[in-house]
Amino acid sequence: MTPQDFQRTRKHLKLSQQSLADVLDISKSSVELYERGTRRDDGRPVEIPKTVRLALAALCQGIADFEGPE
């Protein structure tokens, strides 16, 4: 997932950066970092963690919470 894909998905879900951060239980600065794609201080690339990508995919499918297998 590219930073542009991440941002496009957030906008598709009609969520602000803060709202998405709240839903994913991460900081708003992490959302900003994933959308920018690089660290502000030294320009190193940032990889969006697999857990965040999967959680975002679940949100797109309408899954807001997962209690585990039944």
Does residue 65 form part of some domain? no
Identify the CA nearest to 52 among candidates 11, 1, 16. Answer: 1
* Domain count of the fold of the chain: 1
pLDDT digits over 16-65, tens only?
Answer: 999 999 999 999 999 999 999 999 889 999 999 999 999 999 999 998 88
Say what the pTM is.
0.86
Q: What domain range includes position 30?
A: 3-60
Neighbouring residues of 7: CB distance < 8 A, sequence distance ≥ 6: 35
Q: Residue 44 is part of a domain; what is its CATH number?
A: 1.10.260.40
